[in-house]
Amino acid sequence: MPKKIGSLTLYSIDDLNEMLGVSKMTLRAYLREGRLKGKKLGVQWYVTEEAIKEYFNEPQKDSSPKKKSPKIKYIVQGVNDLVSEKEECESIAETLECLNNQAIISLFQVEIIDIETDEIIELVKARDFIERYSN
């Protein structure tokens, strides 16, 4: 159920999932990418009614050729000195398997790296990586 603060209505991921029938994982991705505007308060995302209207009124992007996606690799590694384990994976499936074999997931993170430039594209907590790609 949306939260009302004065004249402001805030929708959570659960609210949007029910209303729109879009998966929670997709909604979170849209929020992270900025496709849907929202704010994170603590661990919960909230979206205003205006942001939802803006998303649906946004003109569609042209279908011109897109920039080639980078080739990426995944590095599963410990987040502190207590866990020095580090494993390189070539696919999401391989990375998920590696993470699922860990005893304590919260001690790991995944570096997503562009192979050509060797730049870190994103650093993701293991639990968030599993949530994002398991489905």
**Overall pTM surpassing 0.95 (yes/no):** no
Using H for helix, E for strand and C for coil, what is the string for 48-111?
Answer: EHHHHHHHHHCCCCCCCCCCCCCCEEEEEEECCCCCCCEEEECCHHHHHHHHHCCCCHHHEEEE
Give the model's confidence band at 39: pLDDT under 50 very low, under 70 low, under 90 confident, else very high.
Answer: confident
Domain boundaries, the chain: 3-57, 72-133
pLDDT of residue 103: 82
CATH code, 3-57: 1.10.10
Q: Which two tokens stand for residue 7?
A: 């004249």
Question: Hey, is 119 helix, strand or coil?
Answer: coil
Q: Is residue 134 over pLDDT 90? A: no
